[in-house]
Chain A
Amino acid sequence: MRYIPYQSELQLPAITSLIENDLSEPYSIYTYRYFIHNWPQLCFLAVDGEKDEIVGVVVCKLDKHKEDMRGYIGMLAVAKGYRKRRIGSTLVQMAVEEMKKENADEVVLETEESNQGALALYQNLGFARDKRLSRYYLNGVDAFRLKLRLR
């Protein structure tokens, strides 16, 4: 497994198809572009070296929120056959590391309350469940706001 920073939009089709597999509601192309065009340095990819195939991706942003510099993990996806190999954790750690370099005070994200896999992954990395967001998704499911304070 190789971990590489995002390089060019030629990788975008692979990224979108990876993320869309996990989503009930597809993002428009503009959502991807919003993140990746503004914060290309906060997007990391996992590549299966043998097949030269993108099998994991994390997409983030970092901007001012009230007094803080807040990092935000917008999307994280790992292809089905590649899970439980700490690929997601590694990608998140790389993104957090980069955000730290850029003076982030905290990193946040939202995840469905029933998404045990994501909750475990982030809990192991020290993201705490900061808030419950009642009926956050269109399907009426609650979400948690997860937060990792860096300072």
Chain B
Amino acid sequence: MSLKTIHEEILEQDHKPPTSVHRPFEWAPVEPSWQDVTQFLKDATNELEVGQLVHPEGFTLWEAMSAIEMMDPKMDAGMELPPELTSGKLAVSDIETKRFTAAEVIGVIDELISLEMSWISGNLLCQTLFTCIYLHEPYKITSPLLQAYIIAVLKTANLIRREVTMAHVYEEEDFIPDSMGLSLCEEVQENEALSSLLQVEDALMVHWRTAKGKPAKSDAGEIEILECPEGRELEYIDALLSRIRFRRAFYSTVASIGRYNLPHARKSLAQAITQIKTIQNTIPLGSDVKESFDPYVTRKLFSQSPPKPIIAMRKEDGAEAMASMLSHFQEICDVPALQDSHELLGFLNYVSGRSPNPNVLTRSLMQKTLVRDGKLFGRMDLKDLIRDSVIKLCSPLCFSVTDPQVMETVDLFLERAVDPFWALLQLFGHNRARQHRRLRKLVRQWEALQVEAEALDLDLQATIPSRSDSDELPFHLSSWVYHQKLNLLLLYLLLGYELDLYGTYEHVMVSWYLEYLFEMQEQHLLRIERNRNNPGRREEQTTMLLLTEVVAKQLIFRGLFQLGKVLRRQGLLPSPKHAAYNESIHYGHRFRVFSNLGSPSILPFEHFLDAVQENDDGDEALQLAQADFAAAKGMLERLLQSSRRENGAHCADKQQGWIEDRRTDISNLIKVCIANEVGIRTMTGIDATERGKHLNVAFETKYHKQVPLLVVKR
């Protein structure tokens, strides 16, 4: 249980949220006159029976959980802290006299990188960066070098806060923009902060030349030589230099992406990546700086119980998290090279599934790059992207006809498709767990679009005579919508694996449902293929590749289902044993996203029961599963080969990332097939009647996050 749930529920009920926990402490302006009511309350209490409770009307869980017990030092921020928590810490008043060695400065900077990453991963500013004493009075820091660095850290925090807030893809668990009244040096201009860093860098270069025994080209100005261990000056100056350069490059990277200046961002990013590597290698040069960090320094900012100090990230982990975030930034710089909606959506899906998952800053900057002035990457009208995507998938005639009525209908469709498409792009900006939750709503949006598209298709059929050989009437626009909608439904169920939502006993029904959805997608693609109008070779090839992938996945899930079915029958995937559990009700809830859809219609629970009961010979089912995995593997291997050829033929460098991802994805699927074949062989090696006694089975997602494999242990 946590305050978050309660807060969410309150928000859901459309009530105004109660006073925030993060409201800064306010002293009463006038000294009140106090009256001791202790005895009065004690007497009143005696009048109550055991179990009676005095409370106001509408005593809520929120109020109960955010109440404090006064005079309990664990909760009451007004109480003095026990001395063991405050000893050995500097106070803010010590800042102006504190002198530094190079090792201390390195230590402080590295701790700050960890705290910065901890803030970006969703913690409060006052519990992360602002546990560093120096941030509270940066102008009083005696070392110009550390001062320039810390002011730049504050400026970075301010910049990050702005970028994340504007991108609108953060949730309360991702990011807390509230600075609780702490200053982020808004009064310092960006160029001032950056030029201070440059000055420090120049001065360090002077010291460096001196230490090398070379003549100095200029003097170091006011910037001090920090005390270094004797004989190791160069090493320490290098370490300081890399940290100062890193800060400038990191700030510029975020600022440039924010200004849509990707060429500049790429340069700064390359610099930041180089410097963070040096930082990672020189962390041991930093000394112990515990006295400069006090988790209790901001305690008074909480009027209610202050949260417990968070667990500090190790310096090594902080730098690693920074390095991994920078590698994700690289992808932001590459994404505008993608022109095609299929590639774009695939890429966004790959990126948001990375381990570790891209943090809120990466996702925010990615969204910002995607959408600018209502256009994709600031240059591509979304309608054009959709038009292009429909043409690639279905080659409809209506887009090449100049009849004004047809053009109007097509335009109306594009108009209507824009919002759902934006929503789809935005989906990938959210954290993975929220994507799953948001998908249900998004599916409804696409369902509505499909209904509109079908009506428009009927209009078009009346105006344009079909030229394809097929007897079917073409529903090009709604076909495209349905294709996207099926992809969303697939993503919804597949994300359940990625987020580890399925219990062992659920694999059979989930794999059965996924097989069905992939089959729907296959049939749909075949129908599209039949209704194409004079497709080009390129389009035909694209659909063939798509079809191969869909069929391969269908076979994998069919194999998994066959396998699961046998295991279920042998009692190896036992259902919950609880009188209140009902499989049919659970099924309805697990697949509730399908319950209100016109298409594909929800599969009734009875069909599932029939499917698990048919074909009673377990060994035959295992053979079928074996064949499915083998066939899927063959298809995936062909896909991998064709992607290698494609790479040789025509491919811009910047698309490399997407192609690489796709290839890894296919290779991982191949590994899943092989592992499942091995699992089946282990099973068939044991006599059917003995299996229940000797086998221990589990489904794992170790090779592919969204496609499980069976692990059989004797």
| Interface positions of A (Cβ within 8 A of B) | 8-10, 24-31, 33-34, 37, 61, 65-66, 74-75, 93, 96-97, 100, 109-110, 113, 123-126, 128-140, 142-144, 147-151
Contact = CB atoms under 8 A, between A and B. Distances in A.
Interface string B19-59: 00000000000000000000000000000001101000001
Given A93-B578, A131-B433, A140 B585 contact: no
A113 B501 CA distance: 10
B433 A133 contact: yes
B590 interface: yes
Q: Which residue, of A10, A25, A28, has the highest number of chain B Cβ atoms within 10 A?
A: A28
In which size bucket is the chain B interface?
35 or more
B122 A25 contact: no
A9 B67 CA distance: 20
Nearest to A151: B585
A54 B224 CA distance: 66
9 contacts: A31-B61, A124-B576, A124-B577, A125-B580, A131-B433, A132-B436, A137-B2, A138-B310, A143-B2
Interface in B281-308: 305, 307-308
Contacts of A8: 50-51
A83 to B, nearest CB: 19
Contact of B586 (A75, A109, A126): A126
Nearest to B72: A28
A148 B121 contact: no
Contacts, number: 137
Contact of A34 (B64, B432, B501, B581): B64
A31 B305 CA distance: 14
Given A126-B576, A128-B586, A139 B310 contact: yes
Given A9-B50, A34-B59, A125-B578, 19 more contacts: A10-B50, A25-B308, A26-B74, A28-B67, A29-B69, A66-B12, A96-B578, A123-B504, A128-B501, A131-B436, A131-B437, A132-B501, A133-B433, A136-B2, A136-B173, A137-B2, A139-B311, A144-B501, A148-B581
B578 A136 contact: no
A149 B589 contact: yes
B572 to A, nearest CB: 15
Interface of B: 1-2, 4-5, 9, 12, 50-51, 53, 59-61, 63-65, 67-69, 74-75, 121-123, 171, 173-174, 305, 307-308, 310-311, 431-434, 436-437, 499-506, 575-582, 585-586, 588-590
Contacts of B174: 134-135
Q: Interface of chain A, helix or strand or loop or mixed?
A: mixed
B90 to A, nearest CB: 26
Nearest to B589: A149
Given A129-B502, A138-B308, A150 B67 contact: no
B115 to A, nearest CB: 13
Contacts of A96: 578, 580
A31 B577 CA distance: 32
Contacts of A131: 433, 436-437, 501
Given A30-B67, A65-B9, A126-B578, A135 B121 contact: yes
A144 B64 CA distance: 23
A44 to B, nearest CB: 15
A130 B307 CA distance: 28
Given A65-B9, A110-B2, A125-B576, A134 B586 contact: no
B173 A134 contact: yes
A28 B75 contact: yes
B244 to A, nearest CB: 30
Contacts of B579: 93, 97
A137 B311 CA distance: 12
A74 B3 CA distance: 12
B119 to A, nearest CB: 12
Contacts of A137: 2
Contacts of B575: 126
A65 B75 CA distance: 30
